[in-house]
Amino acid sequence: MELLYGPIRDYAWGSRSAIAMLQGRPVPSAGPEAELWLGAHPGAPASVQRAGLRVSLCDLVRDEPGKWLGQRVSDRFGTRLPFLLKVLAADAPLSLQAHPDAEQARVGYAAEAGRPPGERNYSDPHHKPELLVALTPFEALCGFRDPTESAEALAAFGVPALAPVVAALRTGPVGLRTAVQSLLAWPVAERDELLGSVLAAPADGPDAELARRLATAYPGDPGVLVALLLHHVRLGPGEAIWMPAGNLHAYLRGCGVEIMAASDNVLRGGLTPKRIDADELLRVLRFEVLEDPVRNAQPVGPGVDCWPVPVDDFALHRVRVGAAVPSVTLPLPGPRVVLCGAGSVTVDDGAGAVTLVSGQAAIGMATGEPLRISGDGEAYVATAGLG
């Protein structure tokens, strides 16, 4: 195993305490720290130490795929690490967004060939399903809820202009497309008036409180009302959100470990100053109710649990060692990225052991032996999901 050094992305919605506290650094940090990236994505690759220099994990995987990926992963995904492990820390809402499935990404990327980067929706030809496990209390909007509930939430504002949207939602899932399209296409000149009427309404309750919070952060943004069509989820530590392709979502607040297919394809619909392509978002959205976005940890052995997902790009295990379970051996094939989430753990893949404290990470080659994790702490182990 080797220490892995991940860059921190400084997006404006990031926390000035969560990642710093995880890594034992002074709080507050100098600026917002939104995501710690622990992978080989070219947008912000992690690195390892070589002869006193930091070497990009992208370069190592490209030059020696047999060592870093193994034959099965290389055969399935080519010369790229198929997953990206992150720590995500939000103090403000992220954009309202969805990700394409594999075919949509392939077609979209090819169709945009030749466009300048700032005019592209697709930065690569890959899908981006994702799983987020809460480290702290975590709040998110995830997937469409029952449209009749959304209809009542919007009707409670008593705003006549919303009547067609409410009527569409009352028809059930078949009306979701019409409702979302109507809200995203609301004339720009009338958006401030619409949201002003909503915020001035005497409506009370969680939906009204959420609308006011979002409108304060993003005034005049129709995504504020689209957000009310989604499940409003609050996670405790260890609970997870699974977001398959085509599901609209926005993370609102909290810190978690996130693992995803190694892609940066994001289609935004609001709650952001970044580029929005409502037509392309509508094309990839799944206009269906997501029955339950929350995943609970499933025990797979003493001190070990996981959150099963139906993709082979990644798998995530949590290992907790201490007095009750001094050590754990995981026979996980392929590349392994290990993040220490609390305490101190020693990770040994047969080629070398490394001790990690909270917020540190390590990577092992695919040619290593089963992982042995010991110590007194908690670790998250990311691998390909090929079994």
Main-chain phi, psi angles of 141, to 5 degrees: -110, 125
**What is the Cα–Cα distance from 176 to 288, expressed in whole angstroms?**
8
Residue 292 phi, psi (nearest 5): -155, 105
356 φ, ψ to 5°?
-115, 140
Residue with tokens 């075919």: 103
How many degrees, rounded to 5, is the angle at CA 362 between CA 356 and CA 366? 140
Query: Which residue in the list 80, 145, 253, 268 is annotated as catalytic?
Result: 268
> 87 - beta bridge partners?
36, 257
Segments in the chain forming alpha helices (H): 18-22, 57-63, 65-68, 71-77, 102-111, 147-155, 163-169, 176-184, 188-200, 206-217, 223-226, 278-284
Active site residue 268: yes
Q: How far apart are CA 3 and CA 366, in angstroms?
A: 15
> Hey, which residues are catalytic here?
268
